Amino acid sequence: MAKVVWKAGTFEYPIPAVMVSCGDMDNSNIITVAWTGILNTNPAMVYISVRPTRYSYNMIKEQGEFVINLTTEDLVRQTDWCGVRSGEKFDKFKEMNLHKEKANFVKCPLIKESPVSIECKVKEIKELGSHHMFIAEVLSIDADDKFIDEKGAFDISKCDLIAYANGGYYPLGNKLGKFGFSVQKKK
């Protein structure tokens, strides 16, 4: 099998498709972001990359905080819609029948329907070109208690999370192994 060379571009898939809430409980917005990820463990840090032309950009920049809300198969339509419609013209919470929930450490609302909401405080903004990267410290992870198992652990397999790849949304599917399973000694 031979590989075909394409011009350089963004093609590291799959990636998370998340809904980022910003603003406050009265004046808020949701922007769908696929350019997001983990940067560091201690302190826990994440990033989102947003075009400066987006309606949410200045809300996040001025307030210095946002919430990353993980998305599910049940939220795929809302996830897509919030990514193609502007908060300047639409109240996305209202239009998509999503509900605001008060956060613990930021003024931004959580999306109640999301199984996990990650409260973030911006530490740095890197201007990279078409997008600016908001580097943020994780202040809190708010998990829906229906996904907490009897041992008190979060069971992510029950969330039906989705990923984004090359213009499409996909279910994550079944777990294939766990960290370190390839070197684990057999019992």
Q: Tokens standing for 104? A: 């613990």
Q: Tokens standing for 98? A: 């999503």
Q: What is the pLDDT of residue 5?
A: 85
Q: What is the pLDDT of residue 184?
A: 87
Digit-coded pLDDT (tens) for 104-156: 999 999 999 999 999 999 999 999 999 999 999 999 999 999 988 888 888 88
Average pLDDT over residues 60-72: 97
Q: Which residues contact 115 (CB under 8 A, 6 or more apart)?
A: 70, 72, 143, 144, 147, 159, 161
Average pLDDT over residues 72-82: 96
The full DSSP string for the chain is -PPPP--S------EE-EEEEEE-SSSEEEEEESSEEEEETTTTEEEEEE-TTSHHHHHHHHH-EEEEEE-BGGGHHHHHHHHHS-TTT--HHHHTT--EE--SSSSSPEETTSSEEEEEEEEEEEE-SSSEEEEEEEEEEEE-GGGB-TTS-B-GGGS-BEEEETTEEEE-------TTTTTPPP-
Of all residues in the chain, what percent carry a pLDDT higher than 90? Answer: 74
For 15-171, the fitting CATH number among 1.20.58.220, 3.90.1310.10, 2.30.110.10, 2.60.40.420 is 2.30.110.10
Q: What is the pLDDT of residue 170?
A: 93
Of all residues in the chain, what percent carry a pLDDT higher than 70? Answer: 100
Average pLDDT over residues 33-42: 95
Q: Would you kindly state where each structural domain of the chain is located, as residue ranges? A: 15-171
Q: What is the pLDDT of residue 69?
A: 98
Q: What is the pLDDT of residue 109?
A: 98
The answer to whether residue 8 scores a pLDDT higher than 90 is: no
The answer to whether residue 90 scores a pLDDT higher than 90 is: yes
The answer to whether residue 10 scores a pLDDT higher than 80 is: no
> Would you give the end-to-end CA distance of the chain in angstroms?
38
User: Which of 52-56, 61-65, 148-152 shows the lowest per-residue confidence on average (mean pLDDT)?
Assistant: 148-152
The pTM (predicted TM-score) of the whole model is 0.93
